[in-house]
Structure 1
Amino acid sequence: MRKKRILLKIGSTTLTKETDHISRGKIEDIGRQIALLKNEYEFIIVSSGAIVAAKQFVKLEHNGEEITIKQALASIGQPHLMRIFQENFRELGLFTSQCLLSYSDFENPKAKLNIKNTIDVLVANNFIPIINENDTVATDEIQFGDNDKLAALTAALLEVDLLLIATNTDGVYTKHSFLNEIPETIQEVIDLNDLIQEVDVQKSTHGTGGMQSKIEAATIAKSANIETWILNGLKDNFITDAFNGRSNFTKIK
């Protein structure tokens, strides 16, 4: 039987567990869950975190624009980020590969086909593709979406069965409950227009997208007939708990 294909998007806030450093414990937690599920599911990861990884090691002196500095930090941090993934996943018997993409790749039919074919080969040979935007040449992710849009476009291209977006909340909260500081998760959504009315515009500490960009990502996925789950990546076992009905999260049908 064909394994179900899952695209997991992990933002900087999840990877750092809301600190200033990449959390090896969180990456191990993700790897351990993938190892438990690998007989039934194949995973593709879209991961932010290169800039945060670089800031652990360097402080750049500069006179240039902030966006240029962030691109330089991404260039320094990406190998460190991949090394942490590789070391932790390898201990669990998982093999990783790196794929750097840009939004312009999705506007080029030949590039799109190449991306799909390459990732299909990697997955068929039990390698987990870890995708990030090529921040050295592109600035979209740095300025806007924290890879949420990239994850959705990739999910549609690869025809995944499920898009998981890890964030720092138990899914999307109703606006009323959030304002009253007693957050209540919206469990299931059919009409995305209803969800948009509930979304808070605030962004997380390290992330650049906020919940708005996650809803936009879910809209792209929905148009490709892909279900999206928005779940709390800060919690241990957040993937397996969601599959087993042991956690609160938002399911966008």
Structure 2
Amino acid sequence: MRKNLLGHVKRVVIKIGSGVISDQKGLEEGQIASISRDVCALRARGLEVVLVSSGAVAAGRGDLGITGRPQSIPLKQAAAAIGQSRLMRAYKEAFNSQGTKVAQVLLTRDDLANRRRYLNARNTLMTLLEYDIVPIINENDTVVVDEIRFGDNDNLSAMVTNLTESSLLTILSDVDGLYDKDPRKHPDARRISEVERVTEEIEAMAGGAGSLVGTGGMFTKVRAAKRAALYGAGTIIVNGRIPGILPRLFDGEELGTYFLPARDRMAAKKHWIAFTKKPRGKLFVDEGARRALMENGKSLLPSGIKGVEGGFERGDAVRLCDLDGVEFAKGVINYSLPELLPILGKKTSEIAAILGYKYGDEVVHRDNLVLNK
């Protein structure tokens, strides 16, 4: 069954957690070498592989005299600045021994939130794959601030799955998959082999903190699987510390936890709006406008908007809320805040007369709108 599910996969994103390739002393180069052999085995089968790898902070913290996770952003950034080059050198040496070239790609959320930069990043990654080079992606921790953070590399890997139009996300963790309860505390915990849909119950099973060396626990991995599923990609969470785990997966062994892709796949652009582009404000709409958007597939016109919150420019993402403040959608806005304020509640025929110009009748066009499920 598993082999049939993976038989169609041509391009896969593999996310490598800090706990897979490092310990309290720093990088475990033997683990990196093992993973590189696995990846090259997949490439020999004709698969294209994109890596998203944590580990820079773990690789650099020793020079700062830090044990465990750095407790401040400046310390984390300093450790990442030291460790990123070490991490890439370890990957380069491991893959070179297999006759494979790699490339480093560092991203912030801002790089993917801007549509032009998003498409440029995609073109770069596709070119690397075309030239038979393995991209190794990480968050640019040395410059990132809270406003432009992905949050964790599980989230980044889901975005990269969409960015590269991959059909499978494989998350290498230091546990064997999703369990019905914490296996470290409950010896009778049962591994869940397959998840058809990520429900609140599944998310509850994944609750809890991560390891000392990483930023994400099982919850962030399940959330990444949920986001990848909406794009139309399956996700497998497996124990990346087991040698040969990747070829065994593609041989059809029932390892880890497989999350099925959603049946009603979200278009790539709408997935980008929903999960990559960060909202800059809120629009509060009346009940008639909410129904038109939710039930009738309409665009948002200025007549239905009763209030705003935050600051935004044309092309930014905004949250759409009812008059009680409950968010029901997210979209890309066609007017900046200074432009929108004079036309709130007005008819579309009045826009040009009020502003002296008009970008369009719609404040948020339905093609740039994603409804909350």
Q: Which residue of 2 aligns with 1:156?
A: 162
Alpha-carbon distance, 1:225 to partner: 0.6
| Residues 144, 209 of structure 1: 8 Å contact kept | no
Q: Aligned equivalents of 2:9 and 2:197: distance in 1?
A: 28
SS where residue 100 of structure 1 aligns?
strand
- Tell me the CA shift for residue 116 of structure 1: 0.4
Say yes or no: does 1:29 pair with 2:34.
yes
Amino acid at match of 1:33: D
> Residues 117, 201 of structure 1: CA spacing in aligned structure 2 closer, same or farther, 3 A cutoff?
same
1:177-208 superposed Cα distances (whole Å, 9 cap, x missing partner): 66532332100001200421311312112111
In structure 1, what is the equivalent of residue 92 of structure 2?
86
Match of 2:232 among 217, 225, 228: 225
RMSD across aligned positions (CA): 2.3
1:67 matched to 2:78? The reply is no
SS of the aligned residue for 1:207 comes to coil
Structure whose CA Rg is larger:
2
Q: Secondary structure at the match of 2:205?
A: coil
Please name the residue that 1:124 is paired with: 130
Moved more, 19-28 or 221-230: 19-28
Match of 2:351 in 1: none
2-side partners of 1:207 and 1:107: how far apart? 24
TM, length-normalised to structure 1: 0.90
More helix per residue: 1
Equivalent residues in 2 for 1:196-207, closer than 5 Å: 196-207=203-214
Write the deviation string for residues 140-191 of structure 1: whole angstroms up to 9, x where unpaired.
Answer: 59x8843110110011111101100011111101128665323321000012
Query: Identity, % of aligned pairs?
Result: 36
**1:29-88 deviation line (CA, Å, top 9, x unaligned):** 11111221213201100001111111244438xxxx821111111111111110010011
Match of 1:249 in 2: 256
Q: Which amino acid aligns with 2:77?
A: Q
- Given that 1:238 and 1:247 are in contact with CA atoms closer than 8 Å, whether structure 2 keeps it comes out as no
CA distance in 1, matches of 2:36, 2:115: 33
| Structure 1: unaligned runs, 5 residues or longer | none
**C-alpha separation in 1, matches of 2:183 and 2:35:** 30
Q: Which has the higher contact order (CA 8 A, sep 6+)?
A: 1
What CA distance in whole angstroms lies between the structure 2 residues aligned with 1:20 and 1:183?
A: 30
Give the TM-score of the pair, scaled to structure 2.
0.62
SS of equivalent residue, structure 1 residue 192? coil
CA distance in 2, matches of 1:23, 1:177: 24
